[in-house]
Each structure stands twice: as structure tokens, then as C-alpha cells.
Structure 1
Amino acid sequence: MISRAIAILQQAGFDLTARELAEIIWLAVHIEESEQSQQQPQQQSQQLNPPETQTQETPEIASSPQVTEPGAEISLPSAVLSSAKSPESREAIGIKVPAAVALRNSLALGRALRPLMRKIPSPIENILDEEATVYRIAQEKIWVPVLKPAPERWLELALVVEQSSSTAVWKQTITELQRLLKHHGAFRDVRTWELKVTETKAQLFPQNSTGAYSSTPYSPEVLIDSKGQRLILLVSDCISPAWRNKFIHPLLELWGRKGLMTILQLLPERLWERTALASEIPVQLHSLNPGVFNSQLIVETWDDDITDEIENTLQEDANKIKNPIPVPIVTLEPEPLLLWSRVIAGLGNVKTAGFKFSSEFSSVDGVEHSDTQQFTEHKQLNLTPAALVSRFRATASPLARRLAGLMAAAPVSLPVVQLIQQTLLPQSSQIHVAEVFMSGLLKPLTPIHQNTDADYIEYEFVEGIRELLLESVPVSKTISVIDNVSEFVAKRLGLSVREFEARLLVPASGGEDSVETKIRPFAQLKAQVLRQLGGEYARLADEIVTVHFKQGLALYKQGKLDEAITSYQKPLQIDPNNPIAHNHLGIALKNQGKLDEAIASYQRALQIDPNLANAHYNLGNALYDQGKLDEAIASYRKALQIDPNYANAHRNLGLALKDQGKLEEAIASYQRALQIYPNYPDAHNNLGNALKNQGKLDQAIASYRKALQMDPIYADVHFVLGNALSDQGKLDQAIASYQRALQIYPNYADAHNNLGIALKNQAKLDEAIASYRQALQIDPNYAYSHNNLGNALYDQGKLDQAIASYRQALQIDPNYPDAHNNLGIALRNQGKLDQAIASYQRALQIDPNYAKAHFNQGLALSDQGKLDQAIASYRQGLQIDPNDAKAHNNLGIALSDQGKLDQAIAELEIAVRLDPSSTLYRKNLENYKNEKKDF
């Protein structure tokens, strides 16, 4: 029997060694035993197919529609490709479905590879030549073994898998292809590499023994074999930006001119026109010798008329494209794979399909490239959902169209798609899955990294697509998908179907329940699908919407804004016309500082329900934060038209009016808020601020004290009360208020600063300095405290330290006029008049109406004897502030020094009138009058 088996194998073209024959016989025996032992478990597994029951699911977060190119080109789902791991936005559902076989014709594919199984003598390994050894012993009596080169397979294989957003879709196909090639026996060695191509470089990452790819990159030249015995098989669907922008072309040329390479196209030939191959020149290739490089293949045109048309289109300037490289292209189908194998093996007059590629306008690994080229995802037209679905239905295969409709009734992930295929569409294949995933209808919800497990990537249909797809699916089929997926997931989570249904409607109270986080996506989608079915199903959908909304509120109160936003968006995907959800989504977005998005949410809520007072109020708050006071006021007034007793709206209207300087109207708004809600501490505080701005300090202080009666630990009110008391000169009470604010909030930098000011006004300079330093410890970039610290140090006569503080303030805020002015004063006191004048001039550049800087500049100019300039500075300052007695006095002194006694006396008379208590001014006036008499 064994000899007969050997004869059959030899007739079939297999040249096997004795060891290989023994292994085949051993394997055949064990396979037979294994099949017998597995028959019973297979019968049991068939019983695990879930029966049809009626259950529910819920939708994912809706986002902006995906855009696709015209003409139904295949496109990548937009994804974040990253080499580093990052936390996913939510917990993925770890369900594993026994995957259907992707290569259903693996035996036929194996037979198609037989022409590559030729052997050649090994250059390094020798074996015993039994016949020659026996002959030598018999003839020459020499008992020395004769060796000969061991036979080995003539080719080794580098399987290069392009990394792109679509790689996850082909995971099962690529895995089975690897297994087939490694165990087939056609190649002496099979190594798998991942290829990553950007605009400027291409990198290879070898696969290790665990199946993961190394993080260490290699140059593409590492695959060039000097002996020409390595076949490079590039696995791709040719739709990534690297293909569309021709960034991969230099790589094809590198491998094709220095070796033997082929593209293994994962998509069938009927879809090639929708890939980047549509812009290349199709050819037929053959060879008379085995293993020739691509550049040596014999090229024939596929169709002269078509080829001429393509070449005329692609080569407007024929001189720019020189010697395009021919590259064979093959699919995972037996017939084209057999033709390709024969061409590679050089077996006579056979031809295989291929394309001619040119790298003239691209660059990889050191070749110059154009800076104007942008490596971006393939751009798509901003098509409406209806247009996207119409285009898909017009170009997709019937099975792909049916699969997309069934997928619309379930959360989209590869395991769920495999479950749908096995239970409802067993005749579909991986090609049909790829048609759906690359149609532009889907987008990934989680980032896709280099080593991301494809089974854990979740997808969502572009907004509006799911509903359109479900319209074409019979209700019975939709319910079947829901039932099958729900029952399968329930079993994987250790729940009965009834428990699973209950958890959909009544989530666990603990927000961190891991089972709960896995159920939520199903609940969301189930509600969306059920609502579309109508009737009793719609009522169940409303219950699930309520669950999501309550979850959002709870998460918002916990400060988990990202999770809250996600929960608010889910009911909106189910019911886009829910104004309450839009309003609450806006609140969460505003708290994240995303004002434009928040405003859009409020406006959407008001489009649906114009009488939603809270949405008008929230819109006003967002507009106020943007500084759009007129629009904010209009929104507050609309809220009050709907609800005149809306105390918060009255109070915030007052804030906006106060910022516009309309203090009387602001006060009226605050008072109206307090009529509605007398115990409103914020309104009392705001009323106090407006009264203080009017100079009504007693009334302001009364308002602050009322606010503190209602909220004694309101630190901000203690602070502003201190400011009002300080303005009244009640420094002890002001200091007590600041200290109370600091007891409540010790890191209140403003309170430390103002406490320092009050202490300085009491001449308690050391304590004031300590307060300023405390403020600066909390906020080192607090320019006002640096300036105030400088003032206190100046009063202590520590001019160098004061100058250092002023300069520190100016480093933080170069346009701080007070600090420039104070620096000038300190420099003048050090006799550095030029520097002092420069500081005053800088202050006046910033604020030309800064009267004190004009006066101080006049003093410095007087010190320099520049009386005309000094007098001009005094006069400029007095035009701004004519009631400064000291400036009139100093101007009078300067005029007296010029001998202009009449003018000097006139200025001193003004000074005395403005400050009758000043003995200095009276004495100067008396002296000038006496001097005039003597003169």
C-alpha cells in the first residue's frame, strides 16, 4: 500500500524524501482519529445556535456623516492609526464568535501553488550520497562517505502585509493565508512583515513568534536577496492613501528591479476599478525562465485600445514617466493563482495579470519628494446619507447589500458580523464583509493601533445610514438579528436572556459595573432599531432613552463630563428631536469649555421647542462667556418672556447689563431676582457689586452682609466686602474680611494681595510684604502683587529690591503702566534720571492719559534742568486731571524757576484752593507773592 501511495504522489509531481513520506503517513492516521473524536462535540455545538426570541438593543454615539469620493470608489473607514497604545473611549465587548473559514478553497489554492515546489541543491547543507559512497567502497576500498548538496526549496517567501485602516477587515483571511503558505511546503522559509508607508518613508516591522509585530522598524531594502531566491508577496487591497497618492510606488520599483515581487490583491477583480489600480496600466506578464526579476518579465498589453486610452490619460507628458516597473497581481482564487505560479516557475507559454507602475512623482526612503504633496486620508465628497446608501446599493454585490441591511440591526464589530453571517447569511464571504466596511458607510468608534485586536474594534454607521438600511430589511429579519446577537451576548456575559433584557431597561446602580458597560452599546442600538419598527417596539425604545438620559445626569453630577456627553448623545441618536437631551448636552459641553458646540446644542433644542426657557437661559450663559453681551441679553430676555419668575435669568441678565455699564438696569434685574428668591446669595453679591460701582458703599456693604447671612462661607463675598470697607477707610474691618476669606480658602491669591494693600495703608509694611509674598507663592505670575510688593519695599527704602519687584512685574506683563511708572519713581530716587524718564515714557506709550506718569516725568525733567519740557509734561497731565493739587504746586515751582512769578502764583492759588489744608502750598504761595513784591 505504501509503495502504491508513493507512486501516486510521484505521478502528481511531488518529489518527496523518505522523512516527508513518513510524516504524511503519520499525519493521515492521526487526522482520522481526530475526526472521529470530534464528531460528538460538533453535534453539541450545532445545538448551541440561539433560537429566535424577541429582544432589544441600543444605538452608538452619532457623529458627523462620513464623506466619500464620487464614483463609488472603495474608501477606508476614518481611523486613528497609532503605534502607541492609548485608553479606549469605553470598554469593548469581548465576545468571540467562532470565525467562518475565510479561505474556503484552501485545498485548491494549495494545488495552484505546486509549480513553485521545485528544489535546487543547497549551497550550505550536505547529505550522504549512499550510491556514490557504496561505489567508492566497492571500487576504491575507501571507507569515506561521499556527500552531495541537500535538495532544498528554491524560494523563500517574504509575506508583506500593508498596514491600513482596512487591515482589521482582512485579519482572518491574512491569518489563514499565513497558515497555508507556512505549511504548504512550496517555500523553504516564510516570514511575515508589516508595511507602514508615509509620505516620506516606508518601514517594515517583522512578526515575532507570538504573532505580534515588532516595534523596531527595518528598511525595505532588507528584503532584497542578492541570490534572487526570495519572493516578496505584498498583501493589500490597494485602497489606502499610500496607493492613491502613489507613495508606495518607489517601493514597488525597489523590490521589482532588484528582486521578484507580486501584489496579492485581497479584493476580487470586479472591484479593482474602485481601487487605486484603476489609475495604473494593466498588462499581461510571462517568463521563459524561473524566478526572474520583475524588470525582466515579458510584458504584453492587455487590450491595445484600452491601454492606449489609459496611457494617454496618465502620460500627458510621456517623457516624465520612464521605464515603469511591471508587477504581477494575483487574487486568492485557484485559477489566477495557478497561472501566476507557472509564470514565476517559468513553465512555458502562460500569462498572468499585472500592472505597470511608475515612481516618478513619489518618494520613499531617501528619494526626494515634493513638499506640496500631503499624505492624508483619501478625501471623499460630502454626500448625504441617502446618496451614500444609493451609491452603495448601485455598486455593491447583492450579498453585500443584504449583509449591510442585517448589520444595521446590531452593534457593528467583526465578531457580530461573523455571527450574522453564520446564522442568517451563510453564503456570504469575507469579500462581502469588505465591501460593506470599505463602502464609506462605517466609521470606527475606537482608535486602531498597530497591534489592536480586530475583534475588539467597534464601528458605527455614519449618521442617518442605519435608518436607511433598515428600511429595506423585513421586520422579521431585523428581529432575528436582534434575537441572535442578544442571546449570544447574554450567554457570553453569563446572563439568561431574561436577565439581559432586564439589564437593558434597568441598569445596575453602580456606575462601574463591568457587565453594565458591556450591555450599554446593545441597549443603545436596540432602542434605535426598535423605535424605527414602531408600535410596542417604540415604547420599549422610549424606556431605554430614559435610562440613558438618567445615566447622563448622574455622570454629570459626578463631574464625569466625557461620559455624560456620551450618555446624552445616545438618546439623541435614537430620537434626534429630543430638546431636553440637546439642552443637557449643551450644558456638559459648556462645562468643558466647548462653547461653539454648546451653543449649537442649545440652538438645536430651541429649533425643536422654542418655548424651552432653560435652553434660552443656557444659550445666554454661553454667549456671555464668549463676550457677546447683546446676544446674551436677548437670550435672557426670551427666557424671561417665557418664564417671568426665572430668578437665575434675572440675575444673569443683570451681570450682562452691568458689564455694559448699565448699572441701573442691572440693579433692577438683581432686585427682581431677589423678589422672586429672597435667599439668593449670588444675587445679593452681584447687587452689592453694582452698588459699589455706583459709589453707594453703605448699600453695597449691606448687600454683601445679607449674602453672608445666607452663606457664611462664601469666600468671594468676604473678599468684596473687604474691598468696600477698605474704600471707606475702615481698614481693621477690611483686614478682618480678607482674613475670613483666607480662612475659608487659604490659596486665595487676590485676598492675600488686597490684605497686603490694607496692611500697607496702616503702615504695617512687614506684614504687608508677607501677604504679598504669600500671594506670589500661590501665583508666581501675579504681576499686581509684584508691583505692590515693590511699593512696600520702596516705602522701606529698599530701592534695589523694589526695582527688582517692578522689573519682575514687567517681565510678566510688559504693558503694565503702573509698574513702569513706579519703576521710574524708584530710579529717580536713585538719581538715574535718564532711566526714570524712559520708564515714564514707556508708561505713557501704553496709556497716554496716565496723568501721574506725566507729572512724574515733569519732576525728572525738572531735576535735569529741562524746565520747558517739565512744564509741558505738567500741563499735559493737568489737561487729563486738572484737580491734582500737587501737580499745580510743582508746575508753579517750575514756572518760578523760569522767573514767571505771575504764572507760578496762579498755579499755587489753584493748588491751595484744591487742598486748603496743605501748609506747603500756602507757604510756597506766600513766598512767591513776597518775592514778587521785592522784585
Structure 2
Amino acid sequence: MLGRLREILARSGVDLADEELLDVLWLARNLPGDVDPLARRPAPAAPSRQAAEQGEPRAPGADDPAQPGAQPPPAVAPHRLFPLHAAPRGKGSGGPEPAPHRAHALRTPGLHVLPSRHLTLGKALRPLRQRLPDRLRQELDVARTVDAMAETGLPETVTSPARSRWLSLVLLIDDGVSMVLWKRLASEIRTLMERAGAFRDVRVFGLDTRGPHAPLLSNRPYRRQGPHLPPAALCDPTGGTLVLVVSDGVGDAWWDGRMSEAAALWARRQPTAILQALPARLWANSGIATRPWHVTSVRRGGPTTAWHVTDPRLPADLVGFDSVPVPVLEPTPAAVGDWARLVASPSATAVLPLWDIGRSATRSRRAGTGQGQDAEAVLRFRGAASPEAYRLAAHLAAVAPVTPPVMRMVQEALGPPTDTGHLVEVFLGGLMHNAAADTAGRLPQPEFFDFSDDARRILLGTLPARELLRTTRLIAERLAACVRHSPSFTAWVAHPGGAAAVDAPERSFAQLEERLLKRLGVATCLDAPPVDRPPPAAGAGAGSGPDAGGR
């Protein structure tokens, strides 16, 4: 067979030795089939028929490959690709990088958490868009004023209570470390509530569920600055303030009963609910254990303790609800719509998952899988996590350090059946650690996370190179489709004249073409010459040079 193949290649003008032929066969088997060559030689232009008939002389070497001194036509230059990194290098990561590993910061389009459900979630809140008479505000009643003036002939005005929105909203966002993954979800929920047209006002607080004095409220989520408030500060005796908590139920206060006491305090005075960030299949592993109950409202608004709660299957004399009803919702139109009808209607019924406070208080928090050596941690993670989560962990390790927006992009690029639940398994599985670098003086950047070298090596041993190339290509396509239509985050594009240091191009999560960078508004910086930097001082340790930490 090899002899026959050598004869075919020889007739085509390709004469290969035995070793060269074996190399060609090995490359044909192992190279990805969907990768284009770096350069293509254009086909020689055929002489026109008129020129051939007139016998016009041809240029030397134009069509005759055997012409002595003939120069082959120039190869077509490939598209310029620029590696895109999620994070710069921090202190202690190897010192100053050479010029090819410099990078510019730019704003990169991200992904919406609720892209297709945003409009339907807004429609699900329509039952809350009610206007009721406000006893504290009066407005001119035009019809009654005209009737009074016609009857009495006197310029008298008649007023009536003004109709205004009947509810205010307090949005509590759990801002612990695990909730970094859901920062975009919390932002979109806030925007949705502000644009719903159902509330008089929307106040947003950060919720600390991990400190020794938790739960405490702060003025700004994810920024532990300023004064802190106790949970009792949100109590509204009139029942006109709705409390909605956005959390994943991972903080310590969800496990030891402190958050259940705060939720019961609110639920006894006003409508209260929890919007669970985790997928429903992971609720059992959080501090918010739930059970479905049949709920009937008895009045519009008011505390949730006024609800009539029964078992959806068994009679009330066999199973009774002896806790404070706090509904736990998925961010889906069906769940939000059922809850909104219960709050806004005096006699609505629905089957909702309620927080089983007694069950959560009796359970103990599961230990993390990141204890011990890195190899043991990876083995424990592989035994506890799903196959999709382990595959996702390998993809994240290939491009780490990563930020939460990049994690979501990698997860979306893998496609079904990989979902956000598998991303949560990786993030909370104990393999990732906070690797935030010193980014002072740059654009605002969220925390980014990395794997240890041993864990990275083990995870990458299970990932084919072809799959990595496919993932980076899909991410680049999604970035191109999301330009100017999605929220943005900070990333670093490789360029010799950049002010930051990044890892090798192999650790990038996408390769961007120059035309895409022009759409992002950074084309001018790519033509800038490299910045001359003095060499590091002799004997300087890692991270002690002038460019340490990407400065």
C-alpha cells in the first residue's frame, strides 16, 4: 500500500523519502481536520486565450516552474489573531514578562444570564402592577369638581385619595464569595425589578451571611464598606414593603439558623421570598432545603404568615405545616408568576416550594473537597462531581486564571448538557482558589480564580487538543455576535506595547481577529510600537521587577 501511495505522489510531483512519508501519514491522522493551513499558495493564472493565439511572450518564471531562478508567488498572509486573556499576571507569577507577553486591557462583550426570560419574567410580575388609593396623598378629582361647580355655582375643588403603586421592594443580594458567580444575575434581577413598573421604589442592600455577626446589611452589594444595618431595619408594620433575597444558600448563616430567624422576622410583617440562584437540582446541597406545599392567600399583600398552607397530596389532619412560610423561587416565569399572583390576589392558590427551616437547621454543612494534596483533591472531585462538571473543569484549567464572565462563556461554549449547575460544581468543588492580582490603576475588574499547577496538569491530561481549539473558536464567534448587544467585562488582549503582563498565548480563552478588535474600538492601539522598558536589576527576585504584577 505504501508503494502505491508513493507512486501516486510521484506522479503528482511530490517525491518523499520513507521517513517523510511516515511523518505525513502521522500528521494527517493527528491534526484537527477543521484547521486551515497557515498560508495557501494561489494557483498560477492561466494565460488568456488571445495571448496564446498571438504568441505573446510570457514573463520568465511566470508559468514555467522549471525556469531557472524562478521565484514562487508570494504566500497569502494569514489572518492576524490576537490572544485574549481573562486576567493579567499578578505578583509572584514569574516576574516581568517579555514583550510578546504584554497586553492591553479592553472591554469585552459578555453574556446575559436571562437572555430569553427577561421579557417573560417582566410579564410574570404584572399581577403586582396595581394602584390603590393612598390615604396620605390627595389629587384633584376633575369629574366631581365639575359637578360640584355646576350644582353650587361656586369655584370649589373636590379631591380624592391619589392612586399609587401599593408596594415597595427591598432587594437583598447575598454578596459572599460563592455569589461572585451570580453577580450578573443579581444585576439583571435588579434591572428587571426597576423596570417592572410594579413598585413605588426599589432599594438594594448587600447581605452578609458569612461573618461572625451575620446576617448584616450593607448599603452596596459586594462592597463591605459603610455602616451595617440589622435585619430588623427592614421591618414594615404596614406590610407595604416586599423583601426579596437573592442568594445561593451557601453562607454559614443559612446553615446555622441565623438566616432563618431573619427571614421569619420579615415574613411575620410583610411579603417575603427567596430567589434561589442555584438550579433546582442543587437546592438539596445548599442551606435552603425546600418542600412543595399547597398555598392559598387570604388577602392582598400582607405577611406570608397569613397564608393557608397544606400538603399538596395528603389531608391536613395528617400533615401540617408548623413553620413560617417563606417561598423559594427559581428565576423562571412560571415560578415568579405563581408567587406574584399569591401576593397580589386575596384568594389565589398555587403549589410553591417553601423553605423547610427545621430541616435546614438539623443538617450539617458538607465539607469541601479541596482539603489535602492537589492530586487527592482532584480525585475526590472526580468521584463527587458529574462527568460534565469534570469536563468543564478541564476546559477552565486550560485557560485559567479566569473571571466569572469567562467561566460562563466557557460553559456556554461547551453546550448542552453542560449548564450553570455544572459550573457551580466546579466553582464550589474545592479545586479553584482566588488568584486576584494587583490591578491598581486599571479598569474595574472582578476577582479571578485559578487552579494549582498539579491540579491543572491532571485535568489537562484528560482533554484533547482538538476540543480546546473548538471551544476557543466558539467563544470568539460568540464574542463577535455579542458586540454592542451584551454587558461587558474587562479582558486583556495580547500586544507587545501593552501595559500589563499576561501568560503565554496557549492560556488564552479566545483568539480574536483584527476586524473584531476594530469593532471593539481598540484597533489604534494595535499599531502602536512596543514600549521600551529597562531590564530588571541584577539579582531581582520573582515579582520584584518594574513590571511585576502587570504594572
TM-score, normalised by the number of residues in structure 2 = 0.63
Residue 431 of structure 2 corresponds to: 441
Cα deviation for residue 402 of structure 1 reads 4.9
Residue 557 of structure 1 corresponds to: 539
Cα deviation for residue 128 of structure 1 reads 1.6
- Can you give the 5+ residue segments of structure 1 that lack an aligned partner in the other structure? 1-49, 64-90, 312-321, 363-373, 504-512, 527-552, 568-935
Residue 169 of structure 2 corresponds to: 157
Q: Deviations over 1:898-932 (max 9, x none)?
A: xxxxxxxxxxxxxxxxxxxxxxxxxxxxxxxxxxx
- Asked if the contact 2:103/2:498 (under 8 Å) is kept, the reply is no
Cα deviation for residue 181 of structure 1 reads 0.4
Q: Percent identity?
A: 24
1:98-497 equivalence runs, <5 A: 98-104=109-115, 105-197=117-209, 198-207=211-220, 215-278=226-289, 283-301=293-311, 324-346=323-345, 347-357=347-357, 379-380=368-369, 382=371, 384-391=376-383, 393-394=385-386, 398=388, 400=389, 402-411=391-400, 412-420=402-410, 425=415, 432-446=422-436, 455-481=445-471
Distance 1:165 1:292, change over 3 A: same
Q: Deviations over 1:800-858 (max 9, x none)?
A: xxxxxxxxxxxxxxxxxxxxxxxxxxxxxxxxxxxxxxxxxxxxxxxxxxxxxxxxxxx
Q: Distance in 1 between matches of 2:419 and 2:79?
A: 23
Amino acid across the alignment from 1:291: G
Q: Distance in 1 between matches of 2:444 and 2:259?
A: 24
Cα deviation for residue 425 of structure 1 reads 4.5
- Asked if the contact 2:256/2:361 (under 8 Å) is kept, the reply is no
Distance 1:123 1:463, change over 3 A: farther
Cα deviation for residue 264 of structure 1 reads 0.7
- Asked if the contact 2:120/2:333 (under 8 Å) is kept, the reply is yes
Cα deviation for residue 361 of structure 1 reads 7.7
Higher Rg: 1
Amino acid across the alignment from 2:399: A
Amino acid across the alignment from 2:247: S
Distance 1:131 1:192, change over 3 A: same
- Asked if the contact 1:97/1:419 (under 8 Å) is kept, the reply is no
Distance 1:268 1:201, change over 3 A: closer
Cα deviation for residue 207 of structure 1 reads 3.6
Distance 1:222 1:441, change over 3 A: same
- Structure holding more strand per residue: 2
Residue 626 of structure 1 corresponds to: none
1:735-774 equivalence runs, <5 A: none
Distance 1:381 1:471, change over 3 A: closer
- Can you give the 5+ residue segments of structure 2 that lack an aligned partner in the other structure? 1-77, 93-101, 480-489, 509-534
- Asked if the contact 1:54/1:482 (under 8 Å) is kept, the reply is no
Distance 1:415 1:355, change over 3 A: closer
Cα deviation for residue 229 of structure 1 reads 0.5
Q: Deviations over 1:142-189 (max 9, x none)?
A: 222211111111111000011210222111111111111001111111
User: How many residues were matched structurally?
Assistant: 411
Cα deviation for residue 115 of structure 1 reads 1.2
Cα deviation for residue 460 of structure 1 reads 0.8
Cα deviation for residue 195 of structure 1 reads 1.1
Q: Deviations over 1:846-885 (max 9, x none)?
A: xxxxxxxxxxxxxxxxxxxxxxxxxxxxxxxxxxxxxxxx
- Asked if the contact 2:403/2:446 (under 8 Å) is kept, the reply is yes
Amino acid across the alignment from 1:334: P
Amino acid across the alignment from 2:215: A
1:650-799 equivalence runs, <5 A: none
Q: Distance in 1 between matches of 2:261 and 2:329?
A: 20
1:506-585 equivalence runs, <5 A: 515=499, 517-519=500-502, 521-522=503-504, 525=507, 557-558=539-540, 560=541
Cα deviation for residue 357 of structure 1 reads 2.0
Q: Distance in 2 between matches of 1:448 and 1:562?
A: 11
Residue 856 of structure 1 corresponds to: none
Cα deviation for residue 323 of structure 1 reads 5.5
RMSD: 4.6
Distance 1:112 1:493, change over 3 A: closer
TM-score, normalised by the number of residues in structure 1 = 0.39
Amino acid across the alignment from 2:112: V
Cα deviation for residue 419 of structure 1 reads 4.6
Distance 1:455 1:302, change over 3 A: farther
Q: Distance in 1 between matches of 2:136 and 2:455?
A: 61
- Asked if the contact 1:60/1:525 (under 8 Å) is kept, the reply is no
- Asked if the contact 2:168/2:241 (under 8 Å) is kept, the reply is yes
Residue 827 of structure 1 corresponds to: none
- Structure holding more helix per residue: 1
Cα deviation for residue 141 of structure 1 reads 1.7
Distance 1:204 1:170, change over 3 A: same
Distance 1:186 1:428, change over 3 A: farther
Cα deviation for residue 426 of structure 1 reads 9.3
